[in-house]
Amino acid sequence: MTSPRSARPAREAFLPFSPPSIGEAEIQAVVDALRSGWITTGPRTALFERRFAEFVGAEDAVGLNSCTAGLQTALALSGIGPGDAVVTTPMTFAGTANVIEHVGAKPIFADVSPDTLNLDPACVHRAIESARAHGDRVRAILPVHYAGHPCDLEALDAVAAEHDLVVIEDAAHALPARYQGRMIGGGVPGDPLAPRNRVLTSFSFYANKNLTTGEGGMLTGPADVLERARVYRNHGLDRDASQRGGAHASWRYAVHAPGYKFNMTDVAAAMGLAQLDKLPAFHARRQATAARYTAAFADCGAVETPTERAGVKHAWHLYPLRLHLDQLTIDRDRFIDELAARQIGTSVHFIPVHLHPWYRDEHGLRVGDFPAAERAFERLISLPIHPALTDDDVADVIAAVRAVAEAFAR
Ligand SMILES: *Cc1c(COP(=O)(O)O)cnc(C)c1O
């Protein structure tokens, strides 16, 4: 069934798609936080924020309990609400679009570029023109750096400037990623590489992300905006819990806005600090695995490997392979089952958001509306790329993909 090239002894244990990489440092850091007596937002959150802002080169960073919370806060701080519309990508997790609904605005989808599966700036431009013609007040673009490959920010910035829009980045996959030399999340006003006004970037520390705190997120951007985010994340109170303890503790507080409950805990921040130390090594490992996959599949006609455009550095959160279905006798779903039968866990990123029942029905969207996203979806398989993969694990994944491709070649 397999050619000698791909013959390897069968794996005994199932290879999970994306387990968290937690070590003794994280465990000890969490224990220390628990023993410190301060378990919610406090000194560890403040330190993690400072170190994170430094790492990406941002003016400031605010710790939250998810990336989704960061996106919702960014929309609210930008004054986006009922009557407004926000352009985003269908090639994302539903949370990206859900937050637009949460603030009462209307999500407008635009198709993606076939190479990166990131928002296609020309499609964004057309979506804005068409939305305006229908009377929608478009206020923002919400791009996702899909798989960790930075979007074409220069072109998106130009579209945003032309239509006077804010840009709010979903950087759930993009840690650490670079665009034209600067880190994603490091955009500040006045930066010649980021000519945007008010760019806010939201990162995810969910269990399977490149840096995890179990659940968590970080919003980066200009200090004056993020000062308001600190109020929003904690019920709209004028001070954090971190400032309410101590010798001169006061019971008095004032509510300045009907804020959210989005704050990061110090237990999570303790994990985040330990993970941040390991991030460069984690990323190097992801890059090496991506390079091995891409080299190994170069002569495999049944699959297409992900691209990395000039001028960017990929975060390699995902390694999305695309099948050439015309060269196979099976579809993507069956390909995944065959990999699972060979003990390899995979996933699919993403079911295009406009095809989910709520978005389809509520916004009158249909199959065929975003052909590049839909064509990609039919063919996508995300291979394991987490940093704990051993060289043997990577060889097993390569052998399994080649074996399935050969066994079901048309
Ligand atoms: C994981 C993910 C999110 C949500 O992150 P949370 O921290 O779980 O809120 C948002 N967008 C994308 C693209 C994601 O992959």
Residue written as tokens 């969910």?
206
Query: Do 110 and 120 form a contact (C-beta atoms < 8 A)?
Result: yes
Torsion angles phi and psi, residue 315, rounded to 5: -80, -15
Q: What is the pTM of this model?
A: 0.95
Torsion angles phi and psi, residue 366, rounded to 5: -140, 160
* Residues 292-316, mean pLDDT to the nearest whole number: 97
Q: Give me the active site residues, please.
A: 209
Q: What is the pLDDT of residue 166?
A: 92
Q: Where are the domains of the chain?
A: 24-275, 279-407
Q: What is the pLDDT of residue 195?
A: 42
In this predicted structure, the answer to whether residue 234 has a pLDDT above a threshold of 50 is yes
Atom number of ligand 1 nearest to Cα 66: 7
C-alpha gyration radius of the chain: 22
User: Among positive and negative, which fits the CA dihedral 166, 171, 176, 179?
Assistant: negative
Residue nearest to atom 2 of ligand 1 (CA): 172
353-390 pLDDT, tens digit per residue, is 999 999 999 999 999 999 999 999 999 999 999 999 99
Q: Which two tokens stand for residue 222?
A: 């200009």
Q: 24-275: which CATH number, 3.10.310.30, 3.40.228.10, 3.40.640.10, 3.30.70.1150?
A: 3.40.640.10
95-145 pLDDT, tens digit per residue, is 999 999 999 999 999 999 999 999 999 999 999 999 999 999 999 999 999
* Spatial separation of the C-alpha atoms in residues 120 and 103, rounded to whole Å: 25
58-88 pLDDT, tens digit per residue, is 999 999 999 999 999 999 999 999 999 999 9
Q: What is the pLDDT of residue 2?
A: 44
* Spatial separation of the C-alpha atoms in residues 383 and 304, rounded to whole Å: 13
Query: Do 213 and 278 form a contact (C-beta atoms < 8 A)?
Result: no
* Spatial separation of the C-alpha atoms in residues 288 and 318, rounded to whole Å: 13
Q: What is the pLDDT of residue 251?
A: 81
* Residues 240-264, mean pLDDT to the nearest whole number: 77
Atom number of ligand 1 nearest to Cα 216: 7
Q: Is the CB of 217 under 6 A from ligand 1?
A: yes
Share of the chain above pLDDT 90, in %: 87
Q: What is the pLDDT of residue 253?
A: 87
Q: What is the pLDDT of residue 189?
A: 47
Q: Is the CB of 90 under 6 A from ligand 1?
A: no
Query: What fold is seen in the domain 279-407?
Result: Aspartate Aminotransferase, domain 1 (3.90.1150)
